[in-house]
Chain A
């Protein structure tokens, strides 16, 4: 009994299996509750289809709410072909429709019809998993609540008796977890979904309220559903235990490599490139990306302000050919305006990309644009997690940051620079009426590096640090007036 109690059925939903240390309680029902649009249906579908395709556990999806064509569309949106799965006897979808207006009640009844249908579907394909979404709809269709309640109790007992791993969804209620108090019947595992809208941006979150007999993460985690299915982002999975790699990686600019002890950045480190508008932050990042592709390494470029074609065109003007690598597939652009979704979703999407594409290099350009959708503190927390996640995957990442010139430098940059291993500050200066550029390696942990302010040029041939030192008399850099 005890051993069986702790057996788990993996959901195949990235993040959720880590949170639950292996999945849902095997052979027992789990209650999944949340408001409308919180993702209950899609999450339970993922659980069923992943079970069928990845874990050799065919499943039954019994729906009480959505019409068959909507269900089909839902499955398709997750990239699953219902007909194919059905034909291969991996899935049975049973749509239960109950229209109160079409039904007269006369005398005693039970819900044996549901049991018969479920039992028949389970037996037909030898199902191990069942999702029931959302059985509370029966309360709207039938008037004998007492009979319904005793039948629900019997149903959950029946599922356990047959050793089925089940997800029962329930609509979030005002005073109870679910509108009809399903939590009274399902006591092994309770997961709560939530779709919160802050500043018109919605973020889905998932929390494990209860998991009897098992340790589990107790916090709320962002939860993402897109064309690649559902995933949960457990914050705790990004820790500080990433190994420090002694290997180095070129910045893509030979003259800058030499300022960094001749070898460039540490592999797996986080690099901040900050500067005012037009100082060359994206150019430096583009060199980094191009050099990575040139070595045959995969690169993700998260573009938050410009489209991929724009970036490719702009960089071509300094002789950096990103288009070639984008075509070859080594370089992947993820372009999205910050306001498309909330911070958590951005974070989850980047994580997803890192997990699926497995890049060695990443560019996030520019992180300052996140400030348009979150407070400084929220953005800082998000970037901390982002940096940790990228490190945990050993992705060397350049973060660019736009700094408004009318702010004191430490005010603008101090927030994220402490998270970074290397910080390169770019500035414009004016020398004898000439607009010129200079850079300075503010810090670079764990390596010897140049501490001089050096001039650099951005030309057809790209980004080059000038050999001659700047005239000492002008190294107190006058920044240009506000952008």
Chain B
């Protein structure tokens, strides 16, 4: 299910992209829930305008410090600025939308 760091492009060529990175650690239930929730929320709210990158820190632990990852899962909005972070399995959709400034 998780293909580490592989970008999932859901975007047209000339559109302003939303670049989202989700940090997880292994295929835990929390990780899988977070990934599913993220895909659902993006499809519904950012259709055709987003790129999701999933980083599995079990595979690439050296990436944790760079984005100041403490809790997992952590969703980082890389673009558009400013950088935003949402922690948790993203099961509270409203909080995710608030965190991403989509509400």
* A residues neighboring B (CB under 8 Å): 94, 96-98, 102-117, 119-120, 138, 141-142
Which residues, 52 to 74 on B, are CB-close (under 8 Å) to A?
A: 57-58, 61-62, 64-65, 68-74
Most buried by B among A102, A115, A117: A117
CA distance A438 to B88 in the complex (A): 85
Quick check: B73 and A104 within 8 Å, CB to CB?
A: no
Quick check: A104 and B87 within 8 Å, CB to CB?
A: yes
CB B52 to nearest CB in A, in angstroms, measures 16
Quick check: B70 and A106 within 8 Å, CB to CB?
A: no
Quick check: A104 and B64 within 8 Å, CB to CB?
A: no
CA distance A436 to B92 in the complex (A): 94
Quick check: A102 and B84 within 8 Å, CB to CB?
A: yes
Cβ-closest 10 pairs across A and B: A104-B99, A107-B91, A107-B88, A106-B95, A120-B61, A107-B89, A113-B69, A112-B72, A106-B92, A109-B71
> How many residues from B make CB contacts under 8 Å with A?
34
- The listed residue (A97, A110, A119, A120) touching B71 by CB distance below 8 A is A110
- CB neighbours of A120 from chain B (8 A): 61-62, 64-65
CA distance A120 to B60 in the complex (A): 9
Show 22 residue pairs from A and B whose CB-CB distance is below 8 angstroms, ordered by the A residue: A94-B65, A98-B68, A102-B83, A103-B86, A104-B99, A105-B86, A106-B92, A106-B95, A107-B91, A108-B30, A109-B72, A109-B74, A110-B30, A110-B72, A111-B71, A112-B71, A113-B69, A116-B69, A117-B61, A119-B61, A120-B61, A120-B64
Query: Given A113-B57, A116-B57, A117-B61, do A104 and B84 touch, yes or no (CB 8 Å)?
Result: yes
- The listed residue (B57, B65, B87) touching A106 by CB distance below 8 A is B87
Quick check: A103 and B23 within 8 Å, CB to CB?
A: no
CB A280 to nearest CB in B, in angstroms, measures 66
CB B74 to nearest CB in A, in angstroms, measures 7
